[in-house]
Amino acid sequence: MKIGVVFPQIEFGNDPAAIRDYTQTAEELGYSHILAYDHILGANPNRPGGWKGPYTYQNPFHEPFVLFSYMAALTKNIEFATGIIILPQRETAVVAKQAATLDVLSNGRFRLGVGIGWNEVEYIALNQNFKTRGKRIEEQVEVLQQLWQNELITYEGRWHTIPDAGLNPLPVQRPIPVWFGGHADAVLHRVARMGNGWLPNYNNAARAKPEIDKLAEYLAQNGRSLADIGIEFRVSYEQANPALWQQAIDEWQAVGATHMTVNTMYLGFNTPQQHIAAITHFAQQMLAQ
């Protein structure tokens, strides 16, 4: 199983040197990848009409493509994954270009996790339609995959028109792996038809098992199997208990998981050094086995 870390950006601060230390420490400890969340804008909960959500304008988010480009320059082996890019609120060709550039500069160390998001305020501000986001993401992924594999494409879809044009440079990985986040049945169908992996948001393997069984059925309908995709779960550093961590790993492996990330957020840490100490302790307990 590949074990990575969630970059704790809403609690980490903005010091480039601290981000460097975190990134290089994660690589030196033997983690396989760093995963980062995505939000371009945060809403004011006191705005007219009100607003509710897990994040506000007070929660900092680094733009993942820029963040990972910085991290890639500081490392040699560790991989990078978005968990997730909110794809329908972004221009597809621009995402294709950003991802291809990152893949080139990291020498093929990038995995693109995508989803439809939940923050309508963000969609409004980015001039995108919140209500069609589920339908558009499939066409977007189709366009991405074509752009990453061909010097030129001609594409005419419902939301995209590309008249004989292409990216240069093309990515190292052709195509870059695309993983889907989310729990809806439509998401499982997307994974089965066009995804390289799934990023579920369940707290434990038992809750995920029925959905993984369903995903296996959808994959079979498309001539594929669970062996053809990855499944990544998250484990909280909470309680700092290696026995509980190992139990979670064993249970998730039993249902088909291939990747995991360690999350050190929401535990009261308020300095970069505390997060670095936590991923160091986890690695000493679990990666040295």
Q: What is the CATH number of the domain that holds 59?
A: 3.20.20.30
276 φ/ψ angles, rounded to the nearest 5 degrees: -65, -40
Question: pLDDT tens digit string along 183-224?
Answer: 999 999 999 999 999 999 998 999 999 999 999 999 999 999
Q: What is the model's pLDDT at position 228?
A: 98
Q: 288 pLDDT exceeds 80?
A: no
E strand or H helix at 180? strand 178-181
Distance in Å from the first CA to the final CA of the chain? 13
- Rounded to two decimals, the pTM is 0.96
What is the DSSP code string of 88-135? GGS-HHHHHHHHHHHHHHTTS-EEEEEE--S-HHHHHHTT--STTHHH
**204 exposed, middle or buried (CB, 10 Å; 0-12, 13-18, 19+)?**
middle
Question: pLDDT tens digit string along 229-264?
Answer: 999 999 999 978 999 999 999 999 999 999 999 999
Per the structure, the complete domain to which residue 184 belongs is given by 2-286
Q: pLDDT band at 53, cuts 50/70/90?
A: confident
Q: 281 pLDDT exceeds 90?
A: yes
Q: What is the model's pLDDT at position 123?
A: 96
Q: Which of 42-51, 98-107, 266-275 has the lowest mean pLDDT?
A: 42-51
Angle, in degrees to the nearest 10, between helices 16-29 and 272-286: 0
> What average pLDDT does range 1-17 have in this prediction?
97
Q: 160 pLDDT exceeds 80?
A: yes
Q: 16 pLDDT exceeds 70?
A: yes
85 φ/ψ angles, rounded to the nearest 5 degrees: -80, 130
- Indicate the average pLDDT of the chain: 96
Q: What is the model's pLDDT at position 48?
A: 87
> What average pLDDT does range 143-172 have in this prediction?
98
Instruction: Tell me how far CA of residue 284 lies from CA of 16, 44, 63, 212, 289, in angstroms.
Output: 25, 41, 30, 31, 8
Torsion angle of C-alpha atoms 29, 33, 38, 44, degrees rounded to 10: -20
The DSSP code for 254 is H
Q: pLDDT band at 47, cuts 50/70/90?
A: confident
CA-based nearest residue to 31, from 19, 23, 39: 23
CA-based nearest residue to 264, from 250, 278, 254, 282: 278
CB 34 within 8 A of CB 4: yes
**Spatial distance between the Cα atoms of 132 and 52, rounded to a whole number of angstroms:** 21
Give residue for tokens 């500081």: 74
Q: What is the model's pLDDT at position 239?
A: 79
Domain tally for the chain? Answer: 1
Q: What is the model's pLDDT at position 289?
A: 60
Question: pLDDT tens digit string along 99-145?
Answer: 999 999 999 999 999 999 999 999 999 999 999 999 999 999 999 99
Q: What is the model's pLDDT at position 240?
A: 85
